[in-house]
């Protein structure tokens, strides 16, 4: 179950934010081995002085449409799976809501099963042992 923090500048419409959320979820389901019902995201909108990024570092040029996806995942995916995900996400975001691929940055951070508690004050690994 990945959890994604989505960071972008303030001022986007609810429809724009929904399109971003949907594109992310579709890309995760299509390429990242995520079940369709597994959707956990937090969208953070920042003032221009609160989201600082280099317009040209490792790509670009980036505009004020820059968007950062910080994905925390509980299991490793191979390089091909990750590359397929990056490509699919950029493709979907370009289609709707129209974000240029140069404005899309993704960070994937891995954790272990003991780092997750889905509910009830129980770690994921403890819950799995009871099943």
Distance CA 43, CA 16 (A): 12
> Is residue 2 annotated as a catalytic residue, yes or no?
yes
φ, ψ (nearest 5 deg) of residue 83: -65, -40
Distance CA 37, CA 57 (A): 35
* Of 130, 131, 125, 127, the residue nearest 111 (C-alpha): 125
Cβ atoms of 72 and 115 closer than 8 Å:
no
Work out the angle at residue 45's Cα, subtended by the Cα atoms of residues 44 and 49, and round it to the nearest 5 degrees: 120
Select which of 2, 35, 61, 97 is catalytic.
2
Q: Which residues are catalytic?
A: 2
């Amino acid at each position: 179950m990945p959890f994604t923090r989505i960071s972008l500048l303030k001022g986007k419409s609810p429809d724009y934010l929904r399109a971003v959320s949907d594109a992310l979820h579709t890309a995760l389901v299509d390429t990242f081995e995520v079940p369709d019902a597994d959707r956990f995201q937090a969208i953070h909108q920042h003032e221009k002085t609160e989201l600082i990024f280099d317009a040209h570092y490792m790509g670009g040029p980036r505009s004020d449409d820059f968007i950062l996806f910080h994905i925390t995942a509980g299991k490793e995916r191979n390089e091909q799976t990750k590359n397929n995900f990056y490509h699919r996400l950029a493709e979907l975001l370009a289609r709707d809501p129209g974000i240029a691929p140069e404005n899309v940055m993704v960070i994937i951070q891995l954790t272990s099963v003991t780092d997750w508690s889905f509910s009830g004050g129980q770690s994921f690994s403890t819950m799995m042992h009871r099943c």
